[in-house]
Structure 1
Amino acid sequence: MNSSRNRFYLTYLGVPLLIALCLFVVFDLTDLDVLISDALYNTTTHQFVMGHNKLFENLTHRWPRIIPNLTGEAAIIGSVLSFAWPRFRAYKHSRLIAWLERVRVAPLLRFLTRHRRDLLFVVVAFSVTTGFIHYFKSHTSVFCPVETTLYGGIEQKREWFENFSLLHEAGKGRCWPGGHASGGFTMLALYFVALRYRWRHAKAVLFFTMTLGFVYGTTRIFQGWHFMSHTPWAGVIVWFSTFFTAMAFYGRARLDPFYNAQHPATAVSVAS
């Protein structure tokens, strides 16, 4: 048991911490962010390569928001409806129940009721993640590239740790970590639901989520609205906030594939 616990925390906490350390050393202690942004900035026109491209803005920033937005809205609606089916009593609502069965809504309501915890987890995980992202944005006051003197703005470029304030807002900057990238990374909540049910495609969900977050964040770099490091930092913060939320909802035994490989009796059925 100790072996599975150690392996679990090493994988789900140790590896992200190592990634955070690497980000800090490779980006925050060097000028790599600036070098990357310099390569995307036209010193003649004083614009980033995609800074004023409306089609690029729609394709990479506005329209993609539909994925996490619809997921969150579906989870909220599902959570509310999950409380509906148990309220129906056969001796009081027999006609209504028969009609719901006939129009095939009853199976959906039963499904939502069985998965109420998962739906509530997604809602809470999205909320917690959003809260953490907004906290770090307001308590670090980092400005975006186009707002800094490096690229025609009036603000000084600072690293997040130079301005960090634990209890108070650090200033008007709201660029670190990447908010748009975090929108894609919030889909990590679905990965932890997949883990709970030992879904064999859980890794595919993880890959899709990480790809979505990096695409969301990287496209903003071409517009001068983020430095490169803002995207992976958003991923790290979302990972920790989602992981601890999942632990609060499910506990390690239901999320730990190493534990369940040794204790198959603890496997959670979809109906639980």
Structure 2
Amino acid sequence: MRPGELSTSVPVPALDATRRWLLAQSALLALSALVLYWTFEATDLDRLLAQSLFDPELGIFPLRRSWLLEAVMHKAAKQLTYVLVAASLYVCWQGWKGRLSWLPPRNALLAALGMLAIPLATSTAKLLTARYCPWDLVEFGGYAPYLGLFDPAPAGIKAGQCFPAGHASTGFLWIVWAVALRPAGLRMARRALLVGLLAGATLGTARMLQGAHFLSHTLWTLWLAWGVSVSLAVAVRADLGSGDRQGY
């Protein structure tokens, strides 16, 4: 073996594993986008679920003014998210300064950017689509028609800004930690993923029960958070190796 041969060959497996992971994530994102598009554009699942939550006799979504869903799950949860994100940004700063062995500097940058970029990407997407909330639709006591994903707003009616689901994004933003914590081991990464999924699903479901969003709005928000997390990981060249040396 020539001098230096070992040192040049050691990084190759890790690099290959990272590339395989990124390719797998890209393939899953593409496949899930096709599944989501077909499921909600080729079927009437969204409106069927919304109809089950709508009271036609009263002409409202009965849970729209629920104290638990509005005061706690909507307003209080949003305020709590601001506090938790601020605290997490401090943790990211410590990681960026190299003070945390389990959070490399580039991964700290990934987490910080992701927590900010996911809600921002969701808000931007709202401006690029014209979809209305369930309670805006004529069939649910509103004024607007149901639109497909790429349908423009009808003439004379202001475009909707209900897609994707903004409130759900404040839960799904934690998914970026599932990528940022990969060097700390798969157990940590999977726990972060579970937290993000549960938080986003809980907040998204709460708004669905109120008639504020369709199921597709929440699931597309999850897809967007996932895509932003992976894209940022590539952009900042984050360490995507797993301390457990297992696939994920």
Using the TM superposition, give the Cα deviation of residue 61 of structure 1 relative to its aligned residue in structure 2, in angstroms. Answer: 1.3
**C-alpha spacing 1:184/1:44, structure 2 compared with 1 (3 Å):** same
Using the TM superposition, give the Cα deviation of residue 218 of structure 1 relative to its aligned residue in structure 2, in angstroms. Answer: 1.2
**C-alpha spacing 1:236/1:171, structure 2 compared with 1 (3 Å):** farther
Asked if 1:255 is matched to 2:240, the reply is: yes
Contact kept, 8 Å, 2:183 with 2:240, in 1: the verdict is: yes
1:31 to 33, 44, 56: 44
CA–CA separation in structure 1 for the residues paired with 2:232 and 2:159? 29
One-letter amino acid matched to 1:65 = K
One-letter amino acid matched to 1:140 = T
**C-alpha spacing 1:81/1:12, structure 2 compared with 1 (3 Å):** closer
Q: Deviations over 1:4-34 (max 9, x none)?
A: 4664134312122222211111112221101
Match of 2:231 in 1: 244
Size of the aligned set, in residue pairs, is 230
CA–CA separation in structure 1 for the residues paired with 2:81 and 2:240? 23
**C-alpha spacing 1:199/1:5, structure 2 compared with 1 (3 Å):** closer
CA–CA separation in structure 1 for the residues paired with 2:171 and 2:207? 13
CA–CA separation in structure 1 for the residues paired with 2:115 and 2:18? 26
- Unaligned segments of structure 2, at least 5 residues: 1-12
One-letter amino acid matched to 1:146 = W
Moved more, 61-70 or 39-48: 61-70
**C-alpha spacing 1:82/1:27, structure 2 compared with 1 (3 Å):** closer
CA–CA separation in structure 2 for the residues paired with 1:222 and 1:154? 20
Match of 1:231 in 2: 218
Match of 1:133 in 2: 122
Asked if 1:69 is matched to 2:82, the reply is: yes
- Unaligned segments of structure 1, at least 5 residues: 87-108, 165-169, 263-272
**C-alpha spacing 1:69/1:228, structure 2 compared with 1 (3 Å):** same
Match of 2:55 in 1: 42
Moved more, 68-77 or 36-45: 68-77
Percentage of matched positions with identical amino acids:
24
CA–CA separation in structure 2 for the residues paired with 1:32 and 1:125? 31
Asked if 1:220 is matched to 2:207, the reply is: yes
CA–CA separation in structure 2 for the residues paired with 1:258 and 1:19? 28
Moved more, 35-44 or 202-211: 202-211
Using the TM superposition, give the Cα deviation of residue 220 of structure 1 relative to its aligned residue in structure 2, in angstroms. Answer: 0.8
**C-alpha spacing 1:207/1:159, structure 2 compared with 1 (3 Å):** same
Q: Deviations over 1:39-93 (max 9, x none)?
A: 110001111131111232123212222453223212444566778xx8xxxxxxx
Asked if 1:196 is matched to 2:209, the reply is: no
> Larger Rg: 1 or 2?
1
Using the TM superposition, give the Cα deviation of residue 232 of structure 1 relative to its aligned residue in structure 2, in angstroms. Answer: 0.6
CA–CA separation in structure 2 for the residues paired with 1:232 and 1:61? 18
**C-alpha spacing 1:209/1:39, structure 2 compared with 1 (3 Å):** same
CA–CA separation in structure 2 for the residues paired with 1:153 and 1:53? 19
Contact kept, 8 Å, 1:140 with 1:171, in 2: the verdict is: no
One-letter amino acid matched to 2:132 = F
Contact kept, 8 Å, 1:122 with 1:189, in 2: the verdict is: yes
CA–CA separation in structure 2 for the residues paired with 1:223 and 1:61? 10
Match of 2:144 in 1: 155
Q: Name the SS of the counterpart of 2:132 in structure 1.
A: coil
CA–CA separation in structure 2 for the residues paired with 1:48 and 1:175? 17
Cα RMSD (Å) of the superposition?
3.1
Using the TM superposition, give the Cα deviation of residue 187 of structure 1 relative to its aligned residue in structure 2, in angstroms. Answer: 0.4
TM-score for both structures, normalised by structure 1: 0.73
Contact kept, 8 Å, 2:186 with 2:244, in 1: the verdict is: no
One-letter amino acid matched to 1:18 = L
Using the TM superposition, give the Cα deviation of residue 261 of structure 1 relative to its aligned residue in structure 2, in angstroms. Answer: 5.7
